Amino acid sequence: MQSFLDPAILFFVFGLFAGAIKSNLEIPPQISRFLSLYLLMALGLKGGFALTRSGLTPEVSISLGLALLLAVLVPAMGYLLLRRWLSGFDAAAIAATYGSVSAVTFITAVQHLDSQGIAFGGHMAAAMALMESPAIIMAVLLANLVRRKQGAGASSPGPLSKVLHEALTDGAQLLLIGAMLVGLMTGAAGEAAMKPFAGDLFKGMLSFFLLDMGLLAARHMGGLRQQPPLLIVYALGAPLGHAGIALGLSALCGLSAGNAGLLMVLAASASYIAVPAVLRHAIPEANPGLYFGMSLGLTFPFNILFGIPLYTGLAQYLLG
C-alpha cells in the first residue's frame, strides 16, 4: 500500500483517471520527449557514478550475463508459445516487445528501491541497455524465416543490416550509455557537480512523465476489448512468469536482493517505444494494435501499480 502513496505513482494513477474520463489534459509531445531523455540521462549518470564507487565485481559480471541470457530466453519462449495461436509475424512482434525492456518501468523501480532504502548496483542500468536490442534482432530473424517459408522473401522490408543498425543505434539507448560513461569518467567530482540535475530534479521529472504515461495508457486500454482473451491473459501473466524466471536465476547465482529485484523488473517489462518503432518497419505484416496495445495498455500499468512492489518485495523476502 505504501507504494501507492508515492507521488510519482499517484500522478500515474491521476493520468489514468484523466484519460479514462476523456479529459483534454495533454502533455505536448516535445515535452514528453524531453522528459524521457532527461530520465535516461540522469539514470545513466547515476549508474556511472555508482560503478565508479563499486568497480567491476563478480556480481556485476554475473548480473550483466543474466540480463543477456534473459534477453534471448524471454523472446524465444514467447515466440514458441504464441506461434500456436497467432501468425508467425504477430508472434515474433509480440515476443520482441516482451523480450525487450521498458526504461520508464525500470526507472520507476529504481526510485522505489531508493525510497525503500534497498541497495542495488548502478550497473543494472547497463543491464537494461544490454537487454534492449537482442529481442529486436531475434524478431527480425524469425520474421524473415516466416517470409521464406511463405515464399515471400521479395516482400521483405529492406535489408536486415539496416534494421539492425536502427536497433543498435537508437538515440535513447546511446544517451543512456553515453551518460553512464560520463559518470564513470568524472566520478565523485562529477556526481557533486550534477547532483542538482540528476538528483534533486529526478523525482519531479519522473512524476511529470508518469502523468503523461498514465494519459497515454488510458487511451490505449479501450482498444483491448476487441482483442482475444488469450492475449489479455498473456499481457498480465507473461510478466509474472518472466519475473519468476529472473528470480530463480538470481537466487541460483547469488545476486543481492536489490539487483535481483531490478532484474525481475527488466524481465517482466515490455517495450512500448523503441521496439514498436522498429517493428513497424521491420515486420509490417504484424498488427501494431496487438503488441503496442498489450504492452502499453495492460503490461505497463500492471507493472507500475502492482508489479514493481511485488517483484522487489519478493526479492527482498527471499534474498534479503
254, part of any domain: yes
- R_g of the chain, CA atoms, integer Å: 19
- Measured between alpha carbons, how far is 41 from 134 in angstroms, rounded to an integer? 22
Which of residues 133 and 120 earns the better pLDDT score?
Answer: 120
169, part of any domain: yes
What mean pLDDT comes out for the span 67-96? 93
pLDDT of the residue at 164: 63
23, part of any domain: no
- Measured between alpha carbons, how far is 149 from 131 in angstroms, rounded to an integer? 29
pLDDT of the residue at 3: 57
What mean pLDDT comes out for the span 96-111? 92
20, part of any domain: no
Question: 110-114, 145-149, 194-198: which has the minimum mean pLDDT?
Answer: 145-149
| Domain of residue 8, CATH code | 1.20.1530.20
- Measured between alpha carbons, how far is 3 from 305 in angstroms, rounded to an integer? 8
pLDDT of the residue at 161: 66
Choose the most confident range, by mean pLDDT, from 119-123, 133-137, 235-239, 288-292.
235-239
- Measured between alpha carbons, how far is 186 from 181 in angstroms, rounded to an integer? 9
pLDDT of the residue at 134: 86
pLDDT of the residue at 263: 97
Contacts by 210-213, CB closer than 8 A, 24 or more apart: 210/8, 210/9, 210/11, 210/12, 210/15, 210/104, 210/108, 210/304, 211/11, 211/12, 211/14, 211/15, 211/27, 212/15, 212/27, 212/31, 212/32, 212/35, 213/12, 213/15, 213/104, 213/300, 213/304
Q: Has residue 62 got a pLDDT over 90?
A: yes
Q: Of all helices (H) and strands (E), which one includes residue 60?
A: helix 58-82
User: Average model confidence (pLDDT) for the chain?
Assistant: 87
Which of residues 210 and 225 earns the better pLDDT score?
Answer: 210
Which of residues 98 and 129 earns the better pLDDT score?
Answer: 98
- Measured between alpha carbons, how far is 235 from 223 in angstroms, rounded to an integer? 14
- Domain, as residue range, for 60: 2-15+29-319
Q: Has residue 143 got a pLDDT over 70?
A: yes
22, part of any domain: no
Total domains, the chain: 1
45, part of any domain: yes
Q: Has residue 97 got a pLDDT over 60?
A: yes
What mean pLDDT comes out for the span 230-234? 91
pLDDT, tens digit (0-9, with 9 covering 90-100), for 157-210:
555 566 666 666 667 778 888 888 999 899 889 999 999 998 889 889 989 988
**CB-CB contact of 304 with 237 (8 Å):** no
pLDDT > 90: percent of the chain: 45
Q: Has residue 48 got a pLDDT over 50?
A: yes
DSSP string, 192-247: HHHIIIIIITHHHHHHHHHHHHHHHHHHHHGGGGGS-HHHHHHHHHHHHHHHHHHH
pLDDT > 70: percent of the chain: 92
Hey, what's the torsion of the CAs at 235, 277, 48, 303, to 10 degrees? Answer: -20
214, part of any domain: yes
